[in-house]
Amino acid sequence: MPAPPNLPAALFRHAASHPGEPWLFQAEGWDWRWHTWGEVAREVMARAEGLEGIAAGSRYAFAYTARPEDIILDLAVQAAGGGAVVLRNGQPVELSAADLIAMAKRIQERIGPTGRRDIVVLSGSFEISEERAMLSWATLTGAAVVLEPNPALRVATAAWVRPTVFHGTVAELAALRKLVEKEREGWFRRRSRLPFRRLRSVLVTGSEGLPPEEEAFWMERGVGKADRFDR
């Protein structure tokens, strides 16, 4: 099957084949609420109809945080012909539909294929290029997205939801390592398994590489690692 030409097309493809499958998850107190592919697709189409007057390729500015409503608006802007923007070195960079698809494919090449549905935690602003790339990848591949608006809680949320893929800074990976070590002191410590039972890949954001001892820790536990996040 050929790759979709843009992310809204990928969304509509998932919605057509798995309309009731949850895609976006958000915490509401101690509970979790999810939005299915079908629900998101319907909301994107409704919002896009109200944006039909925007010029093709134009930017549509709004506060872009890790919340379902912002993802829906962003995809609606793209569906209406608008462009996406990220900040690199403090400067806005416009991204075409082809750019977003290419970002998603590069992430998939780093992560590699899997026999199960992937899960990722996205946090903070999607104007950050790493977050935008991961959102593009999740939209293209059908990975479940757990939204954590507060970047300071990314690691704690990851430990709670047990993702298959984690992306973060060297400091965040060090914090995640501590939680993995604590987990292995528990009841199932003698069983050989991936961290959190399913974490299979970590991606390092920022310009730093992992120290050798940190790299060895993840590799010894069967977790693939990228030296630097490929944006």
**For residue 214, is pLDDT > 80?**
yes
Closest CA to 69 of 15, 126, 21, 150: 126
87/104 Cα distance (integer angstroms): 17
Token output for 167? 């992306």
Per-residue confidence band for 50, with pLDDT thresholds at 50, 70 and 90: confident
Closest CA to 168 of 110, 101, 120, 213: 120
pLDDT tens profile 201-213: 999 998 788 889 9
- Answer for the pair 201, 112: CB distance below 8 angstroms, yes or no: yes
Q: How far is CA 132 from CA 104, 122, 135, 153, 173, in A?
A: 9, 9, 5, 18, 19
Average pLDDT over residues 20-30: 91
Residue type, 7: L
Buried b (16+ CB within 10 A) or exposed e, 58-80: eebeeebbbebebbbbbbbbbbb
159/161 Cα distance (integer angstroms): 6
**Across the strands, what pairs with 203?**
167, 226
CA torsion 11-13-18-22 (nearest 10°) is -10
**For residue 109, is pLDDT > 70?**
yes
pTM of the model: 0.91
pLDDT on residue 134 = 95
CB-based contacts of 177: which residues, under 8 Å, 6+ apart?
A: 214, 217, 218
Residue type, 128: I
198/151 Cα distance (integer angstroms): 22
Q: In this predicted structure, which of 84-98, 102-116, 130-144, 204-218 has the lowest mean pLDDT?
A: 84-98
pLDDT tens profile 141-194: 999 999 999 999 999 999 999 999 999 999 999 999 999 998 766 554 545 578
- Percent over 90 (pLDDT), the chain: 57
pLDDT tens profile 56-77: 555 565 667 899 999 999 999 8
Q: How far is CA 51 from CA 45, 47, 76, 86, in A?
A: 10, 7, 8, 21
Q: How far is CA 122 from CA 1, 58, 119, 157, 172, in A?
A: 28, 25, 10, 10, 13
- Percent over 70 (pLDDT), the chain: 88
Average pLDDT over residues 46-54: 81
In angstroms and rounded to an integer, the radius of gyration of the C-alpha atoms of the chain is: 18
**For residue 40, is pLDDT > 70?**
yes
Per-residue confidence band for 53, with pLDDT thresholds at 50, 70 and 90: low
Q: What is the mean pLDDT of the chain?
A: 87
Better pLDDT: 167 or 86: 167
CA angle 109, 125, 112 (to 5 degrees): 10
pLDDT on residue 80 = 87
pLDDT on residue 81 = 85
